[in-house]
Amino acid sequence: MKRFRFRLERVLRFRITQLDEAKAALIRERLVLSTLEQERRTIEEALDHAGPIVGTISSAELTLRALFGEGAKIQIAKLTEQIIEQERVVDELVGVYREKQQGVRVLEKLKERYRDEYNQEVSRQEIAELDELGVLMKQRANQEK
């Protein structure tokens, strides 16, 4: 008997490749998101460490502190907008990844079902051949008597 051959194997391999590509894209975009969040945390920590003024400082230092604070707040706002946009991109890619994953899962289940049917048919044919062989052996034994 011929060995099992899944006719949609090429489609399955193509879908697995698409799934791998979607996973790689998702990982890349999550890395970008993580980088943006880390950058925002760094700026927030720098702003927090600027802290209260201790002792006397010149007006130039006071102006620099104020400019730094304003610049940091503007940068945090920009990063927050980028983070929100990046989260939207990641959410879309998660949806794409799940769709690809479901497509692969469906084909794998179909392949497994076809393999089970094939194995059942092979078992049925083997049993039929053994039964036929047993009948032939019995007939031969009866002829020899």
Euclidean distance between CA atoms 79 and 85, whole angstroms: 10
Which one has a higher pLDDT value, 126 or 58? 126
Domain spans in the chain, listed from the N-terminal domain onward: 9-144
pLDDT in tens, 84-133: 999 999 999 999 999 999 999 999 999 999 999 999 999 999 999 999 98
Fold of the 9-144 domain: Helix Hairpins (1.10.287)
Tell me: pLDDT of 71 over 70: yes
Would you say the pTM of this structure is higher than 0.85? no
Tell me: pLDDT of 145 over 80: no
